[in-house]
Amino acid sequence: MANFLAFITVFAAMVSATVNQTDDRQLQTTDASFCWKTSQTRGIGQVPVSCATGQERLGLLCYDKCPVGTTRKGLDCHSNCPAGPAMTQVVLNRGHRVPTLGEPT
């Protein structure tokens, strides 16, 4: 009995699938309120072989070169820091440093 029910279920699915099939150039109407039209793909384009003047290749794509005085970090251009000691603490007026959490002010 279980095999018979499985057969009927598969058969019903096949019948309903063939009812909605139409020619590729026709509109497929499933009910009077709307219809489906077949679509076509346009592709994804091509990977550039070389980059234009003023651009550099990163991975498979071309990006504008960074202006003078900047350096590329990832996909972005960042200003170059001046030479000298790096500031390690936030400094306020008159050279006072900002207290850390839990420190008296």
3-class SS of residue 78: strand
**In sequence order, which residues have a C-beta less than 8 Å from that of residue 29 and are 6 or more positions away?**
35, 36
- Identify the three-state secondary structure at position 91: strand
Domain boundaries, the chain: 51-80
| Single-letter amino acid, residue 85 | P
Is the pTM of the predicted complex or chain greater than 0.75? no
30-68 residue pLDDT tens: 566 767 778 888 888 888 789 999 999 998 889 999 999
